[in-house]
Structure 1
Amino acid sequence: MFEVSRIPPAPESPLSFAARIRMRDGILLAGDVYLPGAPEASDEAPGDTILIRLPYDKSGVYTFIPQVAEYFMQRGYRVVAQDVRGKFRSEGDALLFVNEVDDGYDTIEWITQQSWSNGRVAMWGDSYYGYTQWAAAASGHPALKAISPRLTGTALGEPVRRDPDSRTAGVEWGVTYLYPLTQFFDRDMVLWEPDWARRDFAAQAEEFMAQVGCRSLSYDQWYPHPVSLPRFPSGDPFAGRSVPTLHTIGWWDNCSPLSWADVERIESHPHWDAHHHLRIESIDHESFQLLDSDEDRVMDRSVEQIADLLPRTLDPALDFFEIFVRGNGSAADVPRVTWDLAHGDGMRDAATWPPTGVRTVTRYATDGGELTAERPAVPTTRSWTHDPDDLVPSTVPDAFAYLLTMPDEAPLGERGDVLTFTTAAAMADVNLAGPVSARVTISSDGPIMDCFVRVLDVAPDGTALRIARGQRQLRDATEPGTLEIDLGHIGYRLRAGHRLRVHVASSDYPEFLPQTGTGADPWAWGPTRLNIQSLVVGGPDAFALEFTVLEGDLP
């Protein structure tokens, strides 16, 4: 038996009044309406509205939406916080992602018909309630004047879909199939954990659903036979009317690959690109900062800590809405890119990302464990054993809160199944700003090989902070294959005396589902086998990393 706890909806805020908003199919979605001045100020003059659509309880403590709404009201905004379909007080099925375009449109339409609305709507929020903004924008409602999605992506949460014609694929997050079994299981928030030592997760999912006496519609949509239900009716979230966007990405957000994929897609749509403003901060998915004090690295933030968090989280959006919703200023007053140089001198403005003046620098691994500017002429092979019973452990208990614990990753390099390559110490500060990538030629004596590449900043005392990472999967791995692995983007100051180090491994568990060594489905598990994994170092297929350097000389 699993230990299962349910978190029902919290009491609705006394600062708001309840609304039930009818969708086009008759389903009623629950909203909290916050009006400046009084909870039921029906005679309030019409004004601008900020809409927040989320699945985590519009009244709950986890997302502290009542405090967010109060902060927005101080700037004169009306606020509507809404439980998405099937969650907490809203009717309908708890079905991930697929109803958010139409439900977003219908909610905005309802807002425009209220006496307290002047017909102008903005949206704000993180993660899934960043995704609902992309969905509402894709609906094309003309009243939506600006959005501020943070730490999210249009492909948020989507399981890895393997192209049968390709040897490569992504590596599946461990949380992918758990999300519809917990946060999106039914109306409440349902909390439980599988036995991570068993690894027969599909069987444990069935045991859990048998225990609670019902099934997850979203889980059954995805596993074991995926049903394709389109998230975006047009097929492309950026095909229609564009909306001015303040798009926030965190350097340490585990969802940032989804954000950067959207940036790339937006660049190919000129009408969206013209209104796209990028903000990049030294934060993770839970908005912990790189330079937070030890006292602020707590998951359960106090009322005072939340109050301190709100200005840096909300003020950029409010400044953006002042121009694009209220018309107080010009679009030219808003930088196209605002970014944080971690360990540098704070936020910078730029006309483009990467900023002008950057150059690409390549470093090559050597058989002796170094990273150098010269590619070794003679190819060699470095090998290690992938043991499904002794996996490389993930370094944080919660992948969404990396900066909560900010672990020292140096000890992982002492394992026999982690290859380590290190540069010389930097003679002076080096500012990195832009994409990082790796080129690997790998093989295995097993059918499928996952390859994880991590870039670390090694301090003079030997401790190491992860600053970039990426992973890809090679199928038919008994034949060598060359992979280009995207390690994301970084804005980071490598300080004098520090070194860059790279870790290469074939597991990162439980953040990512591990390979069995036999080709069996990692979610279902099954028979396992040791695999010998290999990486080519030197020669024409050399292991190489490309960094984007803005200032200074990389060692």
Structure 2
Amino acid sequence: MTTTVRIDGLATDVCLPPTPATHPAVVIRTPYDRRHHRAELRGWAARGFAALAQDVRGRHGSPGDWQPYGDHEKKDGETTLHWLRAQPWSNGQVVTAGASYAAYCALAVADLADAVIAAVPALGLAETARERTGPERLQARAGWWSTHGASGDPAPLDHLPVTGILDHPSWRALWRARRRDLPAAEIPLLAVGGTRDPFAGDTVELWRHWPGPARLLLGPWGHRLTAEPAPEARPAHRVDLGALYTGWARAALAGTLAGRTGAVALGGSDHWCPAGHTTLPTRHTFGTGTGPRLVRGAAFVAHPDHPVRSDDLNVSERGVPDRCLLVTPPLARPLDLLGPAEARLDATADAPSADWAVRLVALDPAGRADPLTTGIVRRTRPGPFTVPLGHLARRLPAGTRVRLEVAGHHFPAHARNPHTGEDPVTATRLEPSHRTVRMRGSALCLPVVRGVPHIDPVQEIQT
């Protein structure tokens, strides 16, 4: 049975196991309404955990002003953990858990917990606002803040300045935020993400740099994980996350986990592969027999009034090129990609600040387009540079061609660079930028793997 209590005024649902004893506990602190977690709490309780879900300050049943990513999340989390450990049904062991913003709340008190589950973690204000390479994430941020962080309807995403899209102090403060250091707790971590989730890179980095025992589960999913499977997901990629979480939590609290391991689903196949598998990227130089061949646009114009759109895979071959477009020959056999990819560009722009967006798209034999990955960087100085393309985990069937696009914008997913040298979030004037991509000095580097072992993801996570 679920009961509701107040912890320092914060509305908290508590669900206890049916047996009268002391139990380990799991704590979920969320801005998305604790009541949505009641079935999840019952699942934890049925497996022997006392389970708590709490509305963060200023949200739903909890009074006060909500300040997203504020320092009060750590304070309120600490108060909740102290209260929990003082209860007669607590054995003192606590797992903090959560997805997205709730993962931030879980990590904020990792130093007081015994284990932490961070799913699709939104690691902080600055981390959600910008790519590590500089450009601003626009569409996802405007949607989240207009739903959760502000009131009133937002202006269109092409409104200038970007700071005027939402008339709210927290929205303007978003773009001035600084990145935080990752938590330094040496407790066990389970990091869960989806290859189609915007925070997939942050999930992998959290796992890779966590100082304690760490497990990674990366599936062919979007931000809602198994509730949002990607087209390349297969029946073998269906995972009972509730059972996996509780099994991992028991192993973590028992102290049987060590090292850094995990499982990554190979989309388009029926396989899971070890997360720690590494391979040297295979370099494919532009314009060569095995590399992507130029279709058009070695010289192109990036115009912020007519940006290359993130939500449209159609490519026009008429008029002045708005991107450099290349395509590989059809694959003679299936190709497995597992690991980080990147584009190395020898390119120039006649602007004091220029964004470079690289998008990979898989084209089936009929020409149908399926997005693979996108990377974007901001450059303010000349010289060759690298565009990280994230962590690929895909099997491409024989006959597939890979289309590569090099553009100056990726809008509305990212804010438009105005090409004037002004800050893109405060700029009100836009200028075109002429670009050149040199074929011989540019290459696509793909993590091609062969013979990678196949594993059981549950066994890999829980041992």
Letter in 2 for 1:508: H
Residue 377 of structure 2, aligned match among 472, 485, 491:
472
Is the aligned partner of 1:149 residue 2:118? Answer: yes
1:390 Cα deviation from its structure 2 partner:
1.3
**C-alpha separation between the residues in 2 aligned to 1:520 and 1:447?**
9
Residue 289 of structure 1, aligned match among 229, 233, 252:
229
Residue 171 of structure 2, aligned match among 208, 214, 219:
219
1:485 Cα deviation from its structure 2 partner:
1.4
SS at match of 2:447: strand
Q: Over residues 432-482 of structure 1, what are the superposed CA-to-partner deviations in whole Å (9 max), with x where a residue is unaligned? A: 111101111222222221111112222111112122221101125xxx332
1:86 Cα deviation from its structure 2 partner:
2.6
8 A Cα contact 2:41 2:51, kept in partner: yes
8 A Cα contact 2:163 2:171, kept in partner: no
The equivalent of 1:252 in structure 2 is: 196
Matches within 5 A, 1:416-431: 416-431=321-336
The equivalent of 1:489 in structure 2 is: 391
The equivalent of 2:156 in structure 1 is: 195
The equivalent of 2:6 in structure 1 is: 20
Residue 550 of structure 1, aligned match among 446, 449, 454:
449
**C-alpha separation between the residues in 2 aligned to 1:195 and 1:371?**
44
Alpha-carbon spacing, 1:193–1:310, altered in 2? closer, same or farther (3 Å)? farther
**C-alpha separation between the residues in 1 aligned to 2:63 and 2:399?**
58
The equivalent of 1:173 in structure 2 is: 137
**C-alpha separation between the residues in 1 aligned to 2:126 and 2:348?**
29
Alpha-carbon spacing, 1:262–1:504, altered in 2? closer, same or farther (3 Å)? same
Alpha-carbon spacing, 1:74–1:191, altered in 2? closer, same or farther (3 Å)? farther
8 A Cα contact 2:69 2:124, kept in partner: no
8 A Cα contact 2:364 2:400, kept in partner: yes
Alpha-carbon spacing, 1:192–1:434, altered in 2? closer, same or farther (3 Å)? same
Alpha-carbon spacing, 1:177–1:151, altered in 2? closer, same or farther (3 Å)? closer
Instruction: Name stretches of at least 5 consecutive residues in structure 2 with no aligned partner.
Output: 452-463
8 A Cα contact 2:357 2:406, kept in partner: yes
The equivalent of 1:279 in structure 2 is: 217
The equivalent of 1:313 in structure 2 is: 241
**C-alpha separation between the residues in 2 aligned to 1:314 and 1:413?**
46
**C-alpha separation between the residues in 1 aligned to 2:152 and 2:241?**
27
SS at match of 1:82: strand
Is the aligned partner of 1:52 residue 2:28? Answer: yes
The equivalent of 2:90 in structure 1 is: 117
Is the aligned partner of 1:331 residue 2:220? Answer: no
1:102 Cα deviation from its structure 2 partner:
2.9
Alpha-carbon spacing, 1:181–1:124, altered in 2? closer, same or farther (3 Å)? closer
**C-alpha separation between the residues in 2 aligned to 1:312 and 1:506?**
41
Q: Over residues 271-300 of structure 1, what are the superposed CA-to-partner deviations in whole Å (9 max), with x where a residue is unaligned? A: x2xx0111110001122112489xxxxxxx
Higher deviation after alignment, 415-424 or 500-509: 415-424
1:391 Cα deviation from its structure 2 partner:
1.5
8 A Cα contact 2:291 2:328, kept in partner: no
Letter in 1 for 2:34: K
Alpha-carbon spacing, 1:222–1:247, altered in 2? closer, same or farther (3 Å)? closer
The equivalent of 2:304 in structure 1 is: 388
SS at match of 1:120: strand
The equivalent of 1:305 in structure 2 is: none
Residue 17 of structure 2, aligned match among 27, 30, 36:
36
Letter in 1 for 2:120: L
**C-alpha separation between the residues in 2 aligned to 1:154 and 1:120?**
24
Alpha-carbon spacing, 1:66–1:204, altered in 2? closer, same or farther (3 Å)? same
SS at match of 1:132: helix
Is the aligned partner of 1:341 residue 2:266? Answer: yes
SS at match of 2:428: coil
Instruction: Name stretches of at least 5 consecutive residues in structure 1 with no aligned partner.
Output: 1-14, 23-27, 38-42, 163-167, 207-214, 294-308, 397-408
8 A Cα contact 1:430 1:549, kept in partner: yes
Letter in 2 for 1:251: T
The equivalent of 1:529 in structure 2 is: 431
**C-alpha separation between the residues in 2 aligned to 1:198 and 1:17?**
46
Alpha-carbon spacing, 1:347–1:482, altered in 2? closer, same or farther (3 Å)? same
Alpha-carbon spacing, 1:461–1:375, altered in 2? closer, same or farther (3 Å)? closer
8 A Cα contact 1:342 1:492, kept in partner: yes
Residue 205 of structure 1, aligned match among 154, 159, 166:
166
1:175 Cα deviation from its structure 2 partner:
4.3
8 A Cα contact 1:157 1:176, kept in partner: no
Alpha-carbon spacing, 1:450–1:371, altered in 2? closer, same or farther (3 Å)? farther
**C-alpha separation between the residues in 1 aligned to 2:284 and 2:415?**
30
Letter in 2 for 1:412: V
Aligned residues: 444
Alpha-carbon spacing, 1:158–1:277, altered in 2? closer, same or farther (3 Å)? closer
Q: Percent identity?
A: 24
Matches within 5 A, 1:491-530: 491-530=393-432
Matches within 5 A, 1:92-131: 92-99=64-71, 100-131=73-104
8 A Cα contact 1:437 1:488, kept in partner: yes
**C-alpha separation between the residues in 2 aligned to 1:470 and 1:110?**
44
8 A Cα contact 1:392 1:505, kept in partner: yes
Letter in 2 for 1:372: T
Alpha-carbon spacing, 1:430–1:292, altered in 2? closer, same or farther (3 Å)? closer
8 A Cα contact 1:460 1:497, kept in partner: yes
SS at match of 1:182: helix
1:420 Cα deviation from its structure 2 partner:
1.9
**C-alpha separation between the residues in 2 aligned to 1:375 and 1:178?**
37
The equivalent of 1:8 in structure 2 is: none
**C-alpha separation between the residues in 1 aligned to 2:413 and 2:368?**
22
The equivalent of 2:352 in structure 1 is: 447
Residue 277 of structure 2, aligned match among 349, 354, 357:
354
Alpha-carbon spacing, 1:456–1:222, altered in 2? closer, same or farther (3 Å)? closer
Letter in 2 for 1:475: T
